[in-house]
Chain A
């Protein structure tokens, strides 16, 4: 149990380091998702290709887009943490009721 906790902390630490490392070592990049530049790459392969349909709705700007992405992450981690909390509470409750007897 204890060792798993330590392992998790270490694993999360490594994950954070991997994510942060590019920000430190690579200068002069905006780390764009670069979705917008997709067109160039496809055009390189098939010149003259035009996307034949557009998204019928797109967030009006970066701020709204990041709001929606933040909502998605917040909602998702809310559910993940709720379920983990539920399982932990259940286990702790059982331990309590065992020690009561």
Chain B
């Protein structure tokens, strides 16, 4: 019991960090500009990829709307975590697995823009950095993990879960890195502050990442029952879904 209290205390102490996106003004102008520059090409790739899907396969429009809306919902829900503070999920893995690594760069950017403008959650100067972490790095991770799982013959549901879980975690790893680079510790430099940021971010995020993984699997289950045409068009889960095609 005593140990438990200690453990809880340990988690409580460093937990007073931001729930997620880097707040307005917390990156010095140079870094803010750097991340904006880094993000722009990906946003452009996102526009290109959405356009391509919409013109080539207009029947997928509702699904794109859904992928964006899913990120919208999940990033609005601040969920209590074991560290005693709250954070929220990203919801970008779903769209990435459906449409590839770049579509969510645009959709995630839109979600972040909305939150920065209307909620003062994140910020305009830090929008570039936040886009890179949530809408670029996270999806890249999800895409790689899922591709790897596919190749090694892992069950698709486990692949989806792992992709969404690691996507969510990796978003925060990148956020920590961005903060650490801009705010290296006085003694020890960026590596020390990276560990500091990571301890807080990653621990808070683990249970949430599990939830995001579970919910992403749930949505895929629903889609594979109802939106069979779309899943076929996307070439998604073709082999493992064959049992369902029989009806």
Contact = CB atoms under 8 A, between A and B. Distances in A.
Interface string B204-247: 00010011001101110111111110100000000000001001
A23 B120 CA distance: 26
B176 to A, nearest CB: 11
Interface of B is mostly: helix
Nearest to B188: A45
A38 B226 contact: no
A90 B20 CA distance: 38
B26 A91 contact: no
A79 B17 CA distance: 32
A4 interface: yes
B79 interface: yes
A8 B218 contact: yes
B54 interface: no
A55 B69 contact: no
Interface stretch (B60-68, B137-145, B165-173): B60-68
B18 A69 contact: no
Nearest to B184: A45
A57 B120 contact: yes
Interface residues of B, number: 79
Interface stretch (B8-16, B34-42, B128-136): B8-16
Contacts of B226: 84, 87-88, 90-91
Contact of A76 (B25, B70, B221): B70
A15 B215 contact: yes
A33 B183 CA distance: 21
Contacts of A37: 16-18
Contact of B85 (A14, A21, A31, A42): A31
A36 to B, nearest CB: 9
Interface centre among B29, B186, B214, B217 (most CB of A within 10 A): B214
A96 interface: no
Interface residues of A, number: 60
B65 to A, nearest CB: 6
B84 interface: yes
Nearest to A43: B183
B86 interface: yes
Given A32-B86, A55-B24, A59-B119, A19 B79 contact: yes
A19 to B, nearest CB: 5
Contacts of A4: 221, 224-225
A33 to B, nearest CB: 4
B99 to A, nearest CB: 14
A45 B17 contact: no
A45 B119 contact: no
B63 A51 contact: no
Contact of B207 (A22, A58, A84): A22
Interface of B: 8, 11-12, 15-20, 23-26, 28-29, 62-63, 65-66, 68-82, 84-87, 114-121, 123-125, 179-180, 182-186, 193, 196-197, 200, 207, 210-211, 214-215, 217-219, 221-228, 230, 244, 247
Interface of A: 1, 4, 7-8, 11-12, 14-15, 18-19, 21-23, 25-26, 29, 31-35, 37-42, 44-47, 49, 51-59, 65, 68-70, 72-73, 75-80, 83-84, 86-88, 90-91
